[in-house]
Structure 1
C-alpha cells in the first residue's frame, strides 16, 4: 500500500508557523494597550468565519441532528477554552501556559477509557505519566523564572487543557458517526459566535479610547489562529493522522515557547524547563498512540471493502 503522499507537509508546516506565532503574540494587545481579553475573544470568533467558509466550499454541510450535537459539543468546549485562554495569557507567560494546554490529550485519552471503555496502550501510559510529572514541575512556585510563579493563570491553563481535551473527544465521536471535518469546523465557528454575548457580558461594555493598533493587532494574531485551524483540517485530510497530529501537536508549542522566551527575555528554571520538555513529549506520545491505534483499526476495515 502506497501512502507517501507529501501533500500534507505544506499545510502542516504553515499550521506550525501560524499557531506558533499566534501563541507567542496573542497576549500582546492586552499587554501593550490594555485591550480586554473578552474583546480579543470576540475578534477571534469573527475571524473563524473565513476558514469555515473556505472549508465548507469543499465539503457538504451535514444537517443531521447527530452532527449538530457533536459539532456543538466540540465547538462550545473549544470556544469556551479559547475564552479562558485569553484570560490566562493576560495573567501569565505563554511559554508556561502552552505546555500545560498541550497536555489536553491526557483528558481525551481518559475520557475514551472512562466513557468508551477503550484500553490504553503502554505508549499512552508513558505519555500520561510524563504529563503528570510535567504538571508537578510546572506548578513549583517560582518555577517559571523571571518572577513568574504558579497562580491564577495555572488554574486557567488547566481549565483550557480540560476543555480542549473534551473537544478532541467530541471531534473524534463526530468523525466516528461520519460527520465530515468541514461540518464540525462549521459548528465550531457557530459555537464561537454564540459565546460572543457571554464575552460581552463579562466585559461590561465595548472598550472606548483604545488605539486603532489594539484591534488591528488582535485581528492579525487571531487570523493566524483561525487559518491555522483550517491548515490542520487540510493536513489531516492529506496525510496520516499518526504522523501529522503528533508533529503539529509538538512543533507549534515549541515555536510558541521559543518566540515567547525571546519576547519575555527570560529563561525558565531547570525544573520548569524539564516540565516543558516532559509536557511536550507526553502530549506527543499520547497523540501518536491514539492516532496510530485509530489507523491500525481502520486498515482491516478498508481491506475488507477492497474486492479481491
Structure 2
C-alpha cells in the first residue's frame, strides 16, 4: 500500500532507520580516539560503493550536462561543506546548543519549497509538519547552562550557516529531481564529499595520538556506511515526495529512532525534553502518513 500510493514515505522510513542506527553509534569512534576530521574522510569514501551500485543498476546513465553538474555539485557541497563546518563548530562550542540550532533547518526547506516550488499540503499535513518542527530542537536540548567563552559568537554563526546550508540543500535536492535522475544526483554528492577531503586532512592534528585500530577507522567505516546508504534513500524520498514534508519527517524520525535505540540497546534513559520530542515526532509521523494530500 505504501509502496504504490506513497513511495516517498517508504523511502523516508528506510532513511530514518539507517540514520537512526547511525546516530546511536556515531559518537563511538570519537570516544575511542579517532578524530572527527578523519571520520569525515572515511564517510566520503563510504559514499563510493552505494554510488557505484545505483549507477550500475541504472545502466550507468550519468547526466553530464552543465545544469545537472551545477545542481549536483551544489547539493553535494552544501551537504559536505556543512558537515565540515559542523565538525569545527563542535570543537569550539557546546554540542547541546549547536545541534538544536541546526535541527530546525527544515524551516528553510519548507519556506523555499512554499515560495519557489509552490508546494502545499492539507490541514493534517500542516499540523504534522508543525509537530515535527517542534520536536527537532527538543531531541538535542538539555537544561544545562551554557558556559560563556570567546568563541560563543563564532560557533553560533557557524551553526546558523550549517542550518541554512542543509535547508537549501534539501530544497535543491527536490528541485534537481525534476530534471535529473537520482543516481546522478547521488554521484555528484559523492564527488563533492571526496573533493573536500583534503581540507579535512589539513585540519587534522596528526601530532596527537590517533587510534588506527579496529574500533577506530574500521568501526567508523561500519557506522558511516549507514549514513551513506541512508543518503541514497533520502534522494529517492525527495524524488517522489514534497520537500516541505520529507524534510521534517526525516529530520524528526531519525533522532526518534536514535532515541529508541539508545534506550533499548545502550540503556540510556532520555531526559524529559527528549521524551516530549519522541511523543511529538510519533504524532507528526502518523499525521503525515495519514494525510490524504500526500
TM-score range, shorter chain: 0.7 to 0.9
Counterpart in 2 of 1:105?
106
Listed as ranges, the gaps of 5+ residues in structure 1 are 296-308
Counterpart in 2 of 1:267?
270
Counterpart in 2 of 1:172?
174
Q: CA RMSD in A?
A: 4.4
CA distance in 1, matches of 2:9, 2:122: 28
Secondary structure of 2:4's partner? coil
Listed as ranges, the gaps of 5+ residues in structure 2 are none
Counterpart in 2 of 1:30?
30
Secondary structure of 2:32's partner? helix
Counterpart in 1 of 2:73?
72
> What pairs with 1:216-235 in structure 2 (closer than 5 Å)?
216-233=218-235
CA distance in 2, matches of 1:10, 1:112: 21
Query: 1:105-141: per-residue Cα shift (whole Å, max 9, x none)?
Result: 221111234555666765565456546655776787x
> What pairs with 1:40-119 in structure 2 (closer than 5 Å)?
40-59=39-58, 60-86=61-87, 92=95, 97=99, 103-115=104-116
Query: 1:21-42: per-residue Cα shift (whole Å, max 9, x none)?
Result: 1111111111232x21111001
CA distance in 2, matches of 1:209, 1:102: 30
Superposition TM-score, scaled by structure 2 size? 0.72
Q: Is the contact made by 1:137 and 1:272 (CA closer than 8 Å) also made in structure 2? A: yes
Superposition TM-score, scaled by structure 1 size? 0.70
Change (3 A) 1:133 1:183: closer
Counterpart in 2 of 1:189?
190
CA distance in 1, matches of 2:160, 2:116: 21
Moved more, 128-137 or 162-171: 128-137
Q: Is the contact made by 1:17 and 1:255 (CA closer than 8 Å) also made in structure 2? A: yes
Q: Is the contact made by 2:76 and 2:193 (CA closer than 8 Å) also made in structure 1? A: yes
Change (3 A) 1:44 1:135: closer
Secondary structure of 1:4's partner? helix
Q: Is the contact made by 1:200 and 1:206 (CA closer than 8 Å) also made in structure 2? A: no
CA distance in 2, matches of 1:227, 1:54: 11
> What pairs with 1:205-220 in structure 2 (closer than 5 Å)?
205=206, 208-212=209-213, 213-220=215-222
Q: Is the contact made by 1:76 and 1:188 (CA closer than 8 Å) also made in structure 2? A: yes
Q: Is the contact made by 1:106 and 1:283 (CA closer than 8 Å) also made in structure 2? A: no
